[in-house]
Copies of this chain bind each other. A is one copy, B any other.
Amino acid sequence: MDQPDFTLSAGPTMSSPRVQQAQGQPMVFDYDPVFQERFRETERLVGELFRSANDVVLMQGEAVLGIEAAARGVVKPGLKALNLVSGVYAKWFGDWLRDYGAEVVELEVPYDEALDPAAVEQALEQHGEIELVALVHSETPSGIENPLAEIGPLAKRAGALVFADVVSAVGGTELRTDEWCVDIAIGGPQKCLAGPPGMSMCVLSEAAWEAIEANPNAPRGSFLSLLDWRHTWIEGGRVKFPYTPSVADINGVHAAVSQCLEDGLERVIGRHATAARACRAGVEAMGLELWPRSADYAANCVTAVRCPQGVEVKPVLAHVRERYGVMLSGGYGELADRLFRLGHMGPGSRSLYPLVAVSAFGRGLADLGADVDLGAAADATLQVLSEAGEAIPA
Contacts and interface: CB of A to CB of B under 8 A. Distances in A.
Interface of A: 1-7, 9-15, 17, 19-21, 23-34, 37, 60-62, 64-65, 68-69, 95-96, 99, 190, 194, 196-198, 221-224, 243-249, 252, 321-327, 329, 347, 350-353, 355-356, 359-360, 362-363, 366-367, 374-379, 382, 385-386, 389-390, 392-394
A154 to B, nearest CB: 30
Nearest to A22: B24
A1 B329 contact: no
B351 A367 contact: no
Contacts of A385: 324, 363
Given A1-B34, A2-B393, A34-B3, A64 B197 contact: no
Contacts of A32: 4, 7, 9, 321, 327
A322 B355 contact: no
Nearest to A392: B323
A382 B286 CA distance: 14
B26 A14 contact: yes
Contact of A24 (B24, B37, B246): B24
A273 B95 CA distance: 50
Contact of A65 (B21, B61, B194, B347): B61
A172 to B, nearest CB: 16
Given A64-B243, A196-B27, A323 B393 contact: yes
A10 B7 CA distance: 25
Nearest to A263: B2
A235 B7 CA distance: 27
Given A23-B23, A60-B62, A224-B224, 9 more contacts: A1-B33, A1-B37, A5-B350, A21-B21, A28-B327, A61-B61, A62-B244, A366-B386, A378-B379
